[in-house]
Amino acid sequence: MACLSPTQLQKFQEDGFLVLEGFLSAEECVAMQQRIGKIVAEMDVPPHCRTEFSTHEEEQLRAQGSTDYFLTSGDKIRFFFEKGVFDEKGNFLVPPEKSINKIGHALHAHDPVFRSITHSPKVQALARSLGLQMPVVVQSMYIFKQPHIGGEVFPHQDATFLYTEPLGRVLGVWIALEDATLENGCLWFIPGSHTSGVSRRMVRAPAGSAPGTSFLGSEPAWDNSLFVPTPVRRGALVLIHGEVVHKSKQNLSGRSRQAYTFHLMEAPCPFLPWGGGCGAGGFLTCLVSARGAGPHPRRSGAQEQAEPLWPLAPGLHFPPDGGAMSLPALGRGMWGWWLPDLLASLPGALVLIHGEVVHKSKQNLSGRSRQAYTFHLMEASGTTWSLENWLQPTAELPFPPLYT
Ligand SMILES: O=C(O)CCC(=O)C(=O)O
């Protein structure tokens, strides 16, 4: 069940969503419902944080974006309520357990029951069969869709709120903990709507300004006739592509429609293109490769040690086994490689330049040019490339790994 068949994969690629009935057992669903019952029974929401949840754009900005409670909920377990459940002083008009719209956004991190479902072998096998190589859990939510008052979720793409570059890296995992029917507010999708980018983005405003978020772009008026209902049974898992347009209607029935949902993002190393892990190759590996890739064939560390082709600066040496040389004193900087071409006076010399060493070159007053080829390497493992740099990797050209 956890591994998708080629037909299922193709259907997901075509539609942007996929239903896997029976993914969780009834016992697993009950365990999550019981756990959430306990969390709700113990919840403590200060009156000034009693935020009503809405998916209407203006209300979203006012009710959520303007409150720290929402904006700082990414790493916490917090409570968001239906409309009309508080009086003007923030007192509950409806029993608290019947008034909650959702709990978000880090149940997966802080609660053992939700953590174990989110990271269960079944979910991991599913992610692997989708080809995700290093997915991370971005957020999680428990959605109550309360009887009679469970609010409508307006048509949206998850990438509006969870935007990535490139697009196509976010995947919603939505698990029905109760039967989701036409009456109690099942999901509706526009099949195939995940292929035209994202129409609207919610972005954080600069710190200290109000409201705390704003929208770029606008949600098109989606043709209602394009939506198909997706009723599912308790335990079903629905895969939701980050750009597929979906919604759910108000729950006017007398039965709740609870669901647990979380979002995965494929995030190995944002600036490297191959989707795998970042090797822990040391600086020396680069150096040996570069030396080997020049006019001379690649040589082992032992050969370099015995008959160096180029003198190394004091303190540097090649380990006899040819493995990685550690340069702890050099730290993690940007390395410039400066390679005069064969016409220059020292053709083929390579100069390693630490990213923070101060350097310059003087004007060329001679009669000979001094051509050079230079490029910069960055150790990507554990490094954050500043988004303020003028140079940014793009979807067309992510930074390519040196090791091929
Ligand atoms: O559960 C629902 O009704 C809507 C969920 C949804 O749209 C989402 O998680 O993106």
Which atom, in ligand 1's list, is nearest to the CA of 158? 10
Instruction: Express each pLDDT in 267-283 by its tens digit.
Output: 754 433 333 332 222 12
| Ligand 1 pocket list (CB less than 6 A) | 143, 145, 153, 158, 172, 174, 185, 246, 248, 259, 261
Which atom, in ligand 1's list, is nearest to the CA of 143? 1
Residue 20 Cα to ligand 1 midpoint, Å, equals 16
Q: What six digits make up the tokens of 267?
A: 């995030």
Residue 54's pLDDT is 64
Pocket test for ligand 1, best of 145, 182, 187 (most atoms within 8 A of CB): 187
CB proximity list for 117: less than 8 A, separation 6 or greater: 24, 28, 32, 123, 175, 260
Pocket test for ligand 1, best of 102, 145, 153, 162 (most atoms within 8 A of CB): 153
Residue 165 Cα to ligand 1 midpoint, Å, equals 22
Which residue type occupies 149? I
Which atom, in ligand 1's list, is nearest to the CA of 259? 1
Q: Which helix (H) or strand (E) segment is 376 a member of? A: strand 372-377
Which residue type occupies 18? L
Task: Give, using CA atoms, the residue closest to atom 9 of ligand 1.
Answer: 261
Q: What six digits make up the tokens of 342?
A: 């064969």
Q: What six digits make up the tokens of 290?
A: 């570069």
Residue 309 Cα to ligand 1 midpoint, Å, equals 63
SS3 content of the chain, % helix, strand, coil (to 5): 25, 20, 55
pTM: 0.67
Residue 273 Cα to ligand 1 midpoint, Å, equals 30
Task: Give, using CA atoms, the residue closest to atom 1 of ligand 1.
Answer: 143
Residue 247 Cα to ligand 1 midpoint, Å, equals 7
Q: In angstroms, rounded to a whole number, what is the distance separating the alpha carbons of residues 153 and 274?
A: 36
Reference 56, options 206, 256, 215; nearest CA is 215
Instruction: Express each pLDDT in 154-203 by its tens digit.
Output: 999 999 999 988 888 899 999 999 999 999 999 999 999 999 999 999 99
Rounded average pLDDT per 10-residue block, the chain, 404 residues? 86 96 97 97 81 64 61 91 86 92 95 96 93 89 97 96 89 98 98 94 82 89 97 98 97 97 77 32 23 33 49 41 32 36 52 84 87 85 79 83 74
